[in-house]
Chains A and B, each alone.
Chain A
């Protein structure tokens, strides 16, 4: 604090550089502008909004009492199908996503154009939503759980591959270099060098994605791709709100159960 005596020249501390401040301001400005634009131009019919509370109360009354008798004949088989679908989708997604993940990782695949193609595959599969994938596969294989499983599997390639490529890029170089020095081929480097290092990533990604896939598979029935969504769709189309309530309640319980199981496994194993 030498310059303190010359009080006019007191040093002023500014937390961010001008560029940082400018980019922060730009982010806030764009956010505010986007919201202002959206609020100003969105088409909403006000009568529908005023009416909403009444409609929700009405729907709630129609949902009560829940139609429990519907559970064993219809909802349970659909639920089992959903579980099979999400398990198969997770496995297929891992089988397809992991190789793409290795191809997208810059250290495991040192060819820049291969990385770029793999990255494009990851983004593209992720940005087409499960419902759209399901439309394709229903058109290809007909309605049923097969289309659903394939839809979720293709959609999850992006997530699994991205997590994997990040895990591989963080891998320790030492063991890879040791393998290279011993004359290992690229395949051997991946199997003996990278794989053991990304094994924890593998388990956490597999569990996490399974959890997401169960939720996703609950909606696929809407486009005819099997599972509990099909029962939901049928109940909504037939205006059987008491059955809708039962199905929603079932989904709620199953999702909570699976999340609890996944959290417990992650705590104990990983």
Chain B
């Protein structure tokens, strides 16, 4: 029951049903504060009726420009294949790096200072959007797929590292103790005590991560890091909206296939 609201013991006739469900004063104040902030934030966006009217007009013209979608340009297939390559390789490297980081970050296996350092690395990888890392990577290694792979590898380390370290922290310690009691080395404890307990969830994370890398690999091209995004962005800038529509439909198709495959893989390894 909510704190501050009358309890069941207080039902001596004085408490009506309306009182019973009414939010407490603190909650009401919180709601009002949130609402006031939202009104203020909406005001800063510079929304006006005139602007909406014009915008909707442009939007309709824009959508009309999409038809018919153009799939005939030769840039689509190579772009999509490069996006796929980026997604696969980033998932491979990201996962390979995430496993040791996650083991180091698990508080039940490691001394606190080690797990804190590993956690800091995970937080660092997670807090930047892949596109921001991609900008930096493009500056470091030049335009092309390599920058995209580096950017998405960072994102994968953050994501898989976080989820896997949480999964390792939730395992049962009894099995670890049993393996340790046989005199097993640290690597043996990992191999026979930890891995069997997390492997199925791990495969689920990897499937999810590959799916999300696939989505992001269609986006990093906007900043020059390879994949279909670059083709899309340049089509946009030369107002070739039929081609834009064709690319977007292809991306939606690719992402849908990825999602179906991800669900299938998860079902196989349940």
Contact = CB atoms under 8 A, between A and B. Distances in A.
Contacts of A219: 129, 131-132
Contacts of B85: 37-38, 41-42
Contacts of A123: 252, 255-256, 259
Interface string B222-256: 11000001001100100000000000100110011
Contacts of B131: 131, 219, 222
B141 A49 contact: yes
Nearest to A16: B268
B216 A35 contact: no
A59 B136 contact: yes
Contacts, number: 145
Given A149-B45, A251-B128, A91 B38 contact: yes
Interface string B139-181: 1111011100000000000000000000000000000000000
Interface stretch (B54-62, B67-75, B104-112): B54-62
Interface in A73-114: 81, 83-85, 87-88, 91
Interface residues of B, number: 57
A23 interface: yes
Contact of A127 (B51, B135, B140, B255): B255
A222 B219 CA distance: 12
A216 to B, nearest CB: 7
B124 A51 contact: no
Contacts of A141: 51, 55, 58
A135 B221 CA distance: 14
Nearest to A239: B139
Contacts of B145: 42-44
13 contacts: A37-B85, A37-B88, A52-B140, A59-B140, A87-B41, A88-B38, A129-B216, A131-B219, A139-B62, A149-B45, A223-B222, A236-B135, A252-B124
